[in-house]
Amino acid sequence: MAEAPSASATTSSAIIDFERSPAAYRHWKLSFDGEVAELIMDVDENATLFEGYQLKLNSYDLGVDIELADALQRLRFEHPEVKVVVLKSGKDRVFCAGANIRMLAGAAHAHKVNFCKFTNETRNGMEDSSQFSGQKFICAVKGTAAGGGYELALSCDRIILADDGNSTVSLPEIPLLAVLPGTGGLTRVTDKRKVRRDLADVFCTTEEGVRGKRAVQWRLVDQSVPNSKFDAAVAEMVRELAAQSDRPADAKGITLTPLARTVAGDTIAYSSLKIEIDRQARRATILIQGPDLPPPSDTAQIHTQGAAFYPLRLARELDDAILHLRLNELEIGTLVFKSQGDPAAILAYDALMRENAGHWLVREILNNWKRVLKRIDVTSRSLVALIEPGSCFAGTLAEILWACDRAYMFAGTMTGDNRPEATVTLNELNFGRYPMSNGISRLETRFLGELGSMDRAKAAMGTPLDATDAESLGLVTESFDEVDWDDEVRIFLEERASFSADGLTGLEANLRFAGPETMETKIFGRLTAWQNWIFQRPNAVGADGALKRYGTGVKGDFDPERV
């Protein structure tokens, strides 16, 4: 755990920007050697996101994690040749001390929750890279990997620990901080590493952690190796994992160019979407703009377009927009998704990607959409889609409708408006290419209770469905014609804004994830919900709680009452 600096942390009102470029990294170093990349964590203790703390001992705040997420994204897109990523520390005697305690102690509840959500998404993304992008991770731990430091290791395919009397893995949150290892730690210990539950209990309550052979016996790490043999063991592990990778050997990456983004008052404009914020109504509208150009003809041209290729460009912009709203606009309780454009163009892009789904770059773009859609799924805001004349919710973009809590569709046309009637069109991508974190598609989750509905939806693929058809197929919540549309939408939005923000958070977190559970849903359900509860409890966050007292030498003054 990080040493506590003396000043107390304060969250500033500065906008958190999620855009990064490797040249400006303060905390991570990437180096490349053929099919292997080294990702070295070397946190600049003074380059903090907020004032009031220092990032000692490779501890991290959200700023460090934003760089990590950027690096992972570049590894996927800019480095198709990389089959194995070796994660190391740039510090002596410490691998990573986890999330910075002073930062956590000073952060507002909402920031803590959103910080954890983002770091969880980043770690889930590493497992996604491993499983679906052929990019494997080895965590080479020298020194102490404590708390979030060990949780980072847990996200890798393999963990190798130096057997040197100093290097340990630990989850000391309970004894030191009275909070949980909430970045997937508990879930990955039980469900990924499958550590026996009583040993996991011992491990999670042992401040000093576990090292050497015991760490291997308990399955906390895969290997414990003396320093003299460490590099050779890592190299052997690299060979083993590289052999499992299906990354292309001779492909060239594309560059993830900076996002085109302009802010003017309460409007944020990207190249393919626009956010408009209505502060009084506590609502943001995200308007997605269809492509200007038809799709290119082959993968070579997709590659040439690179980050400008519409589906990739839109996904990156949408991701940035969601993150911005989550972290910087806490009082905006409802996100309204709209689109304008030619559904046929969306379907044409989808068709091109489907036909070339095996190409590494197309695969990355589709995987990226999957992750962006999952990010929407777990966004703690009420999500509603308004399907209006001229909209283009088709194929990939139609997934947004079912990520939303509700979708309303305009029936017919508007008087004095020559935009075409609203339609929804399905294609193959809606039937499995974008699984939710529960492992099944949004349509399958939606139709758990009515198997016939899946068949009917499949039979409708390719057909532009008007409001009547979309409603009868169960694809939208309700449709209204011109007479009722404005009132019905207004009433819904006003009603939503009148409910308790917390009540809605809990409601939505439960209703969105019917059906099977996975390690990911456990992390966002069970683990995160309990952590959020603890983040409200005086034993952790009160004036005499463990987070506030950390580093003072005085233990938290705990209320012994159990619930």
What part of residues 212-241 is at the interface with a copy of itself (CB under 8 A)? 219
Looking at the Cβ atoms of 413 and 505, the one nearer to a copy of itself is 505
Question: Least distance in Å: CB of 422 to a copy of itself?
Answer: 17
Alpha helices, DSSP H, located in 257-309: 299-305
Whole-angstrom CA distances from 435 to 72, 127, 203, 444, 449 are 21, 15, 33, 9, 18
Q: Looking at the chain, how many residues does it have?
A: 563
CA gap 441, 435 in Å, rounded: 4
**CB-count exposure of residue 276 (10 Å: 0-12, 13-18, 19+):** middle
- Asked if 146 contacts 96 with a C-beta cutoff of 8 angstroms, the reply is yes
39, 332, 373, 426: residue in contact with a copy of itself (rule CB under 8 A): 332
225, 534, 549, 550: residue in contact with a copy of itself (rule CB under 8 A): 534
CA gap 283, 335 in Å, rounded: 6
Is residue 16 a contact residue for a copy of itself (CB under 8 A)? no
Is residue 208 a contact residue for a copy of itself (CB under 8 A)? no
CA gap 319, 72 in Å, rounded: 15
Burial track 485-500 (b if 16+ CB lie within 10 A, e otherwise):
beeebeebbeebbeee
Measured at the alpha carbon of residue 169, what is the angle toward residues 164 and 174, in degrees to the nearest 5?
A: 140
6, 21, 205, 227: residue in contact with a copy of itself (rule CB under 8 A): 205
106, 295, 390, 525: residue in contact with a copy of itself (rule CB under 8 A): 525
Q: Of residues 114-143, which lie at the interface with a copy of itself (CB under 8 A)?
A: 114
DSSP string, 209-237: -B-HHHHHHTTSSSEEE-HHHHHHHHHHH
Considering only the stretches 37-45, 75-83, 305-313, 535-543, report the one whose residues sit in contact with a copy of itself under the rule CB under 8 A: 535-543
Is residue 509 a contact residue for a copy of itself (CB under 8 A)? yes
CA gap 223, 140 in Å, rounded: 10
Question: Least distance in Å: CB of 355 to a copy of itself?
Answer: 32
21, 51, 93, 194: residue in contact with a copy of itself (rule CB under 8 A): 194
Is residue 474 a contact residue for a copy of itself (CB under 8 A)? yes
Is residue 330 a contact residue for a copy of itself (CB under 8 A)? yes
CA gap 9, 101 in Å, rounded: 9
Is residue 391 a contact residue for a copy of itself (CB under 8 A)? no
CA gap 519, 64 in Å, rounded: 24
Looking at the Cβ atoms of 127 and 508, the one nearer to a copy of itself is 508
Residues 6+ apart with CB under 8 A from 214: none
Q: Of residues 25-84, which lie at the interface with a copy of itself (CB under 8 A)?
A: none
Is residue 412 a contact residue for a copy of itself (CB under 8 A)? no
User: HSE (CB half, 13 Å, CA atoms) of 543?
Assistant: 0
Looking at the Cβ atoms of 236 and 544, the one nearer to a copy of itself is 544
Sheet strands side by side (includes 94-96): 94-96, 144-146, 168-170
417, 455, 481, 502: residue in contact with a copy of itself (rule CB under 8 A): 502
**In a 3-state reduction of DSSP, which class is residue 274?**
strand
Is residue 285 a contact residue for a copy of itself (CB under 8 A)? no
Looking at the Cβ atoms of 294 and 515, the one nearer to a copy of itself is 515
186, 314, 346, 394: residue in contact with a copy of itself (rule CB under 8 A): 186
12, 21, 131, 201: residue in contact with a copy of itself (rule CB under 8 A): 201
Is residue 498 a contact residue for a copy of itself (CB under 8 A)? yes
Is residue 341 a contact residue for a copy of itself (CB under 8 A)? no
Contact pattern for a copy of itself over residues 74 through 113, marking x by CB under 8 A? -----------------------------------xx--x
Question: Least distance in Å: CB of 145 to a copy of itself?
Answer: 19
The count of chain residues that interact with a copy of itself, using the rule CB under 8 A, is: 96
Is residue 173 a contact residue for a copy of itself (CB under 8 A)? yes
- Asked if 382 contacts 333 with a C-beta cutoff of 8 angstroms, the reply is yes
Is residue 485 a contact residue for a copy of itself (CB under 8 A)? no
Is residue 419 a contact residue for a copy of itself (CB under 8 A)? no
- Cα–Cα nearest to 163, from 217, 206, 203: 217
Looking at the Cβ atoms of 179 and 353, the one nearer to a copy of itself is 179
